């Protein structure tokens, strides 16, 4: 090592079935008296916010629910939610949902206390240097086991100025408390269980393969991978399996904790598939992963052996991941998702602008991006 590095794992996590029942106490711990609850329309439609409203009412906490959020959140969602925060006189945020709701909740904390345009806080222009700790407290309640946004320091938002997904990053964006209650994930359909689970797996995988030095993240990533291989098929097969649901919530949080070390080309290829074509992020990761694994095979060979060991696989890591994707009925080709050859140049041009590939174990060019898309078509 020729330079110093910093390691940090500060997230407070409340884990266990029924743990949202302590929401009133958690608000009291953080000094939240008027929470804004940020969630998404799908969860409102199935009545899930009612599960957290009950303890807020019991604690006598005036609250407001904001749910005008897209599946891939855009800047307008953040601005509208911030307006709701101000109008309610909120002093804290409760995010309820998957990555979309939790990322918007984090971005509201930034927007409510910082004056610069959101693009100024982009991770890849060192936006964290322009942030400060004076943000309202946040409780993040995960309802999917994929993004791990409940323990992350970033919010991924598509900005109006660029039209692309942008990573707003700051250590101060990390939620004050993450709540992992498996009971809230029981209603997640098998398809979304598969897609979000493959997102969690990809986070741990790409973090472990990243060349950056972070041995703590390496250990967390490998165990996150082990949990995905063991429990994702169970959660997919039986959505009421609380042990599997809980373990996948932990795997998701582990993946997001690990990727403070960096991600890779899979995410750079997946992000434009979401922004330009509306494909679910976890599904996009799962479909692109085989091509990236093949591209990285030699550069990441020793670490891929560790991944195979974590999967308890008899063969290569790529083979174990492909077998898992087959069990989860993940589509194998971009063509199955409606992507055509004519779409690929624009996708490659957008992918090379995404900073995740900067920590890929092998350097990537725009031509490499195009070739990996073509290999998957």
CA dist 137 and 307 (Å) reads 36
Q: In angstroms, rounded to a whole number, what is the distance separating the alpha carbons of residues 377 and 161? A: 30
Query: Is 232:328 a contact under the CB 8 Å cutoff?
Result: yes
Q: In what order do the strands lie in the sheet with 92-97?
A: 12-15, 177-180, 138-142, 92-97, 35-38, 64-66
Write the DSSP symbol of residue 122. Answer: B
Give the pLDDT band of residue 127 (cuts 50, 70, 90): confident
Kindly state the average pLDDT of the residues 335-359: 96
Q: Which helix (H) or strand (E) holds 137?
A: none
Question: Which tens digit of pLDDT belongs to each residue from 214-242?
Answer: 999 999 999 999 999 999 999 999 999 99
pLDDT in tens, 41-100: 999 999 999 999 999 999 999 999 999 998 889 999 999 999 999 999 999 999 999 889
Instruction: Provide the total of helices (H) and of strands (E) in the chain, helices listed first.
Output: 14, 8
CA–CA distances in Å: residue 245 to residues 142, 171, 231, 234: 11, 28, 8, 8
Query: What structural domains and CATH numbers belong to the chain?
Result: 12-185 (3.40.50.1970), 190-376 (1.20.1090.10)
Q: How many CB atoms lie within 10 A of CB 223?
A: 16
Task: Please check whether residue 224 is in contact with residue 255, taking contact to mean a CB–CB distance below 8 angstroms.
Answer: yes
276 by Cβ neighbours in 10 Å (0-12 / 13-18 / 19+) ranks as middle
Tell me which residue has tokens 């972070």: 214
Question: Residue 2: pLDDT above 70?
Answer: no
186 token code pair: 């029981």
* 138 DSSP β-pair partners: 93
Give the burial class of 342: count Cβ atoms within 10 A of its Cβ; 0-12 exposed, 13-18 middle, 19 or more buried. exposed
Q: For 82, what's the count of Cα atoms within 13 Å in the CB-facing half-sphere? A: 20
Q: Where is average pLDDT lowest: 3-7, 28-32, 286-290, 336-340? A: 3-7
Pairing of strands 35-38, 64-66: parallel
Query: Ranked by mean pLDDT, which of 59-68, 122-131, 142-151 comes out on top?
Result: 59-68
pLDDT band at 1 (very low <50, low <70, confident <90, very high): very low
Calculate the average pLDDT of the chain: 94
Helix (H) or strand (E) holding 156: strand 154-158
- Predicted confidence at residue 341, as pLDDT, reads 97
Q: To 5 degrees, how large is the angle CA 368–CA 323–CA 302?
A: 55
Separation between Cα atoms, residue 95 and residue 50, nearest integer Å = 14
Structure tokens at 185: 């994930």
Tell me the average pLDDT across 124-128.
86
Instruction: Give the 3-state secondary structure of 6-75.
Output: CCCCCCEEEECCCHHHHHHHHHHHHCCCCEEEECCHHHHHCCCCHHHHHHHHHCCCCCEEECCCCCCCEH
Q: Residue 294 above 90 pLDDT?
A: yes
- Residue 305 and residue 41: Cα distance in Å, rounded? 42
Among 160-164, 211-215, 261-265, 309-313, name the one with the lowest average pLDDT.
160-164
pLDDT of residue 348: 98
Encoded tokens for 329:
């009925």
């Amino acid at each position: 090592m020729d330079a110093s590095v910093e390691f940090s794992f500060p997230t407070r996590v409340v884990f266990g079935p029924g743990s949202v029942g302590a929401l009133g106490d958690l608000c009291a711990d953080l000094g939240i008296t008027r929470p804004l609850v940020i969630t998404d329309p799908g969860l409102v439609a199935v009545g899930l916010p009612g599960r957290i409203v009950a303890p807020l009412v019991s604690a006598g906490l005036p609250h407001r629910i904001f749910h005008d959020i897209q599946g891939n959140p855009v800047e307008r969602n953040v601005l509208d939610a911030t307006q709701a925060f101000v109008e309610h006189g909120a002093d804290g945020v409760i995010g309820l949902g998957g990555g979309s709701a939790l990322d918007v909740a984090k971005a509201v904390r930034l927007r409510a206390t910082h004056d610069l345009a959101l693009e100024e806080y982009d991770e890849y222009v060192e936006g964290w240097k322009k942030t400060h700790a004076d943000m309202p407290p946040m409780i993040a309640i995960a309802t999917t086991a994929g993004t791990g946004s409940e323990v992350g320091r970033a919010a991924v938002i598509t900005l109006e100025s660029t039209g692309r997904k942008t990573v707003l990053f700051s250590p101060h964006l990390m939620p004050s408390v993450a709540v992992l209650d498996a009971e809230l994930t029981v209603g997640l359909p098998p398809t979304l269980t598969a897609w979000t689970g493959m997102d969690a797996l990809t986070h741990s995988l790409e973090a472990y393969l990243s060349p950056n030095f972070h041995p703590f993240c390496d250990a967390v990533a490998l165990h996150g991978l082990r949990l995905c291989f063991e429990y994702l098929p169970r959660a997919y097969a039986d959505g009421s399996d609380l042990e599997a649901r809980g373990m996948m919530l932990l795997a998701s949080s582990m993946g997001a904790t690990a990727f403070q070390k960096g991600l890779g080309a899979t995410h750079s290829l997946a992000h434009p598939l979401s922004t330009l074509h509306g494909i679910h992020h976890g599904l996009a990761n799962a479909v692109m992963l085989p091509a990236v694994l093949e591209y990285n095979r030699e550069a990441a060979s020793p670490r891929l052996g560790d991944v195979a060991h974590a999967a308890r696989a008899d063969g290569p890591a790529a083979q174990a991941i492909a077998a898992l994707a087959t069990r989860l009925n993940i589509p194998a080709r971009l063509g199955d998702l409606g992507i055509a050859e004519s779409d690929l140049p624009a996708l490659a041009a957008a992918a090379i602008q995404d900073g995740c590939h900067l920590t890929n174990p092998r350097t990537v060019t725009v031509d490499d991006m195009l070739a990996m898309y073509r290999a998957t078509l």
